[in-house]
Amino acid sequence: MGSLGNAHVEADGCLLHRSLVEKPAIVDSAEGVNLYLSDGRTILDACGGAAVALIGHGNQEVNQAIIDQIQKVSYVHTQSYTTQSAEDLANFLLQGRPHGLEKAFFVGSGSEAVESALKLARQYYFERGQPDRLHIVSRRQCYHGNTVATMSISGNLSRKVPFANFCYPNTSQVSPAYSYRYMLPGETQTQFTRRLLQELEDEFLRVGPANVLAFVAEPVAGAVAGCVIPPPGYLAGVRALCDKYDILLILDEIMCGVGRTGSFFAFEQEGDVVPDIMTVAKGLGGGYSPISGVFVHRKVVNVLKQGSKAFNHGHTYQAHPISCAAALAVQKIVRRDNLIPRCAEMGKRLENILRAELKDCWSVGDIRGRGLFWAVEFVKDRDTKETFCPSLHFGIRVQQAAFERGLAIYPGVGTVDGYRGDHILLAPPFTITEDQLRLACRVLRISIETQEVLLS
């Protein structure tokens, strides 16, 4: 691995990047876990972009599936047509109707999927003759998308600042299931779970259960808080509360699903939990083509069947045949090569390596995750859990230091409350080797240590 060189785009190009000041590096090609920059440098992609590159880059089997689909049909409009690739993908993913999930709806991004799920929930109650159900409850420090409605229920506060008074109004948020930061001194995990569930029930009662559309949550919170696993019994308790008050449970597995946490559905590791509607994306197509999905429980499907007999929603590129063909090829490889059990096993090794490498880094407050989905949260003081000053951008500086040493990791800011706190994510392809994990963790340790030295 080499250091970051000058593989950057020209400052006066016409493409609008995320930053108008900092220009991204140009990636000429990618293969396996490596990105090859235009100046000849190599970057080990230890975050899969944004937990996307499930089977790694440049898989020729997937590439061929895309070519084969293009040669058949590249596009049709779903108002009148379907394609075999879309039908096959839905049947493959929901073979045997797992957990009662009966229908799949494919769109282009995670935000579109969550937006679609919210509209589906609204239509479900509208067709049941309950038009007053407009309110959506979610959690602080969770992320659900960048469209107006999905941003409104998200907890990424910095992204919402320019859009105050521009959001969907019928929302409220409860505490995140984030033990490291939100457990009280002396509180047990059981007591923490009970307190969180009481807070959620109190919020349902405050709004009025007959006004609540859905509770939306990530089974494992992703980018905003960093791989936060809920305390035991929490999601099962949430399911019971939603049943008690006839409120839909929407689980957002955009980042943590499709095997990323060691089971195809992240919620499968949480006991007696089944969503009414759920969303997936990122790993679904593995980055080979934009695609996301909404999986719908028969309970919701049956209401629509008995009413309008249609989902009053659609997109021009819905169930795009090339995207579906790419995703189907990716998911066939995942199943054939037993990559989800491999993800679970490699995740245990990653945890052990991370904890061993970072044990002497004084800025590392918490290491948490599941499967190949891990976060490192940084602190100024381990004992008090005091955060670094936000203006220091500690996590981003660690990410930049790692990039200079040939390693891509995913940074997060505002970890604690939307303003304070830093973390980084590791979410490598399921195909990564143990030697590559060791290299990534070693480079991460060196990158953290360089920033610690600067603050000493």
- As a whole number, mean pLDDT of residues 223-245 equals 97
Q: What is the SS3 assignment for the chain? A: CCCCCCCECCCCCCCCCCCCCCCCECEEEEEECEEEECCCCEEEECCHHHHCCCCCECCHHHHHHHHHHHHHCCCCCCCCCCCHHHHHHHHHHCCCCHHHEEEEEEECCHHHHHHHHHHHHHHHHHHCCCCCCCEEEEECCCCCCCCHHHHHCCCCHHHHHHHCCCCCCCEEEECCCCHHHHCCCCCCHHHHHHHHHHHHHHHHHHHCHHHEEEEEECCCECCCCCCECCCCCHHHHHHHHHHHCCCEEEEEECCCCCCCCCCCCHHHHCCCCCCCEEEECHHHCCCCCCCEEEEEEHHHHHHHHHCCCCCCCCCCCCCCHHHHHHHHHHHHHHHHCCHHHHHHHHHHHHHHHHHHHHCCCCCEEEEEECCCCEEEEECCECCCCECCCHHHCHHHHHHHHHHHCCEECEEEECCCCCCCCEEEEECCCCCCCHHHHHHHHHHHHHHHHHHHHHHC
CA 281/CA 344 separation, integer angstroms:
19
Q: Does position 91 have pLDDT exceeding 90, yes or no? A: yes
Q: How far is CA 163 from CA 91, 113, 115, 148, in A?
A: 39, 21, 17, 9
**pLDDT class for 102, splitting at 50, 70, 90?**
very high
pLDDT at 156: 80
How big is the chain by its Cα radius of gyration, in Å?
22
Phi, psi at 145, each rounded to 5°: 145, 180
Each residue's pLDDT tens digit, 127-163: 999 999 999 999 999 999 999 999 999 988 878 888 8
Phi, psi at 267, each rounded to 5°: -70, -15
**pLDDT class for 299, splitting at 50, 70, 90?**
very high
Lowest mean pLDDT among 2-11, 94-103, 219-228, 277-286: 2-11
Each residue's pLDDT tens digit, 368-382: 999 999 999 999 999
Q: Does position 245 have pLDDT exceeding 60, yes or no? A: yes
pLDDT at 160: 84
Q: Report the chain's mean pLDDT, rounded to a whole number.
A: 95
What kind of architecture, by CATH, is found in domain 62-336? Answer: 3-Layer(aba) Sandwich (3.40)
Q: What is the pTM of this model?
A: 0.95
- As a whole number, mean pLDDT of residues 294-314 equals 97
pLDDT at 452: 97
pLDDT at 3: 41
Phi, psi at 283, each rounded to 5°: -65, -15
Q: Does position 67 have pLDDT exceeding 80, yes or no? A: yes
Q: Hey, what are 109's tokens?
A: 């991004």
Q: Which residue has the higher pLDDT, 128 or 23?
A: 128
**pLDDT class for 8, splitting at 50, 70, 90?**
low
Percent of the chain with pLDDT over 90: 93
pLDDT at 158: 79
- As a whole number, mean pLDDT of residues 170-177 equals 97
Domain ranges in the chain are 27-45+338-455, 62-336
Q: How far is CA 296 from CA 283, 354, 403, 452, in A?
A: 19, 37, 40, 47
- As a whole number, mean pLDDT of residues 322-343 equals 98
Percent of the chain with pLDDT over 70: 98
Q: Does position 432 have pLDDT exceeding 80, yes or no? A: yes
- As a whole number, mean pLDDT of residues 285-299 equals 98
pLDDT at 11: 58
Q: Does position 309 have pLDDT exceeding 70, yes or no? A: yes
pLDDT at 155: 85
B/e letters for 216-243, b = 16+ CB within 10 Å, e = fewer, are bbbbbbbbbbbbbbbbebbbbbbbebbe
CA 415/CA 341 separation, integer angstroms:
30
pLDDT at 68: 98
CATH of 27-45+338-455, picked from 3.30.565.10, 1.10.3720.10, 3.90.1150.10, 3.40.50.2000, is 3.90.1150.10
pLDDT at 426: 98
Decide if 398 contacts 447 (C-beta within 8 A): yes
**pLDDT class for 22, splitting at 50, 70, 90?**
confident
Q: Does position 6 have pLDDT exceeding 90, yes or no? A: no
Each residue's pLDDT tens digit, 190-214: 999 999 999 999 999 999 999 999 9
pLDDT at 10: 61
How many residues would you count in the chain?
Answer: 456
pLDDT at 9: 59
Each residue's pLDDT tens digit, 343-362: 999 999 999 999 999 999 99
Quote the Cα angle for 270-416-292, to 5°.
50
Torsion sign, CA atoms 60, 62, 66, 68: positive
